[in-house]
């Protein structure tokens, strides 16, 4: 009987500790979902390659803010996003993939990346209307999971060419953004902002494309909700 009582006391202490830790976790971590309509821009840096059009895109996924202070004014912003983007580029003869570079050609890129942002996020205290302003600065890591292009020359066109093996396997860049949070309820907060991403890595493998550096940049409207 004595052992049972001791075991029940230990279980009670463990349960209380777990409940307290979970409560602290809830206070320090904000989770939510985002939907980001965007403009995607592939930016060539070498002559012989030019951008003919940007492309509308979309990002969506999970947001996670890890607070660095109890009030939530400082946080590490991260998450897990699927990003659909691309652009249209025109290549002079002799540039681009070897199967299509005999003539000048236009490539309509359709790229899908899995992206993990890591940024320092600063946020004001809520005002009397439940509104708070935020800004963030950091980086992101993106990994292509799908890459296709339509290739058009003066004599022929090729649709949905799989170029995943011709794309660099990681993209890293700068991320900056700003916006506003608005409290919608006790456990619900909406967020709206603008996000700019500037890729540092050459998207197309230069040995395959002979096109110098091509960066992938984007402007996105952040629409999200935290629970």
pLDDT of amino acid 28: 86
Of the candidates 174, 156, 69, the one whose C-alpha atom is nearest the C-alpha of residue 117 is 174
Using only C-alpha atoms, the chain has a radius of gyration, in whole angstroms, of 24
Residue 217, Ramachandran bin (φ over 0: left; ψ between -120 and 50: alpha; else beta): beta
Residue 174 CB burial class (10 angstroms; 0-12, 13-18, ≥19): middle
pLDDT at position 63: 98
Report how far residue 19's alpha carbon sits from residue 16's, in angstroms, rounded to the nearest whole number. 5
Contact at 8 Å (CB) between 124 and 134? yes
160: which residues sit within 8 A by CB, 6+ positions away? 148, 150
> Angle 29-30-35 (CA atoms, 0-180°, nearest 5)?
145
pLDDT in tens, the chain (227 residues): 655 555 445 444 434 433 344 444 456 899 999 999 999 999 999 999 999 999 999 999 999 999 999 988 999 999 999 999 999 999 999 999 999 999 999 999 999 999 999 999 999 999 999 999 999 999 999 999 999 999 999 999 999 999 999 999 999 999 999 999 999 998 999 999 999 999 999 999 999 999 999 999 999 999 999 99
């Amino acid at each position: 009987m004595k052992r049972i009582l001791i075991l029940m006391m230990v279980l009670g202490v463990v349960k209380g500790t777990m409940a307290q830790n979970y409560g602290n976790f809830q206070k320090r971590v904000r989770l939510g979902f985002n939907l980001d309509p965007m403009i995607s821009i592939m930016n060539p840096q070498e002559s012989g390659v030019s951008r003919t059009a940007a492309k509308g895109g979309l990002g969506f996924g999970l947001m996670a803010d890890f607070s660095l202070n109890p009030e939530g004014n400082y946080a590490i912003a991260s998450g897990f996003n699927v990003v659909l983007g691309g652009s249209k580029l025109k290549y002079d003869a002799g540039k681009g993939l070897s199967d299509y570079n005999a003539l000048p050609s236009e490539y309509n890129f359709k790229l899908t990346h899995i992206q993990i942002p890591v940024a320092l996020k600063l946020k004001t205290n809520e005002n009397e209307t439940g509104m708070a302003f935020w800004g963030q600065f950091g980086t992101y890591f993106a990994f292509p999971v799908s890459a296709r292009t339509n290739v058009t020359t003066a004599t022929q066109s090729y649709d949905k060419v799989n170029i995943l093996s011709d794309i660099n396997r990681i993209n890293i860049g700068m991320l900056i953004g700003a916006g506003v949070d608005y409290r919608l309820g006790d456990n619900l907060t909406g967020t709206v902002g603008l996000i700019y991403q500037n890729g540092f890595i050459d998207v197309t493998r230069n040995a395959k494309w002979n096109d110098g550096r091509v960066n992938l940049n984007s402007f996105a409207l952040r629409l999200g909700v935290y629970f």
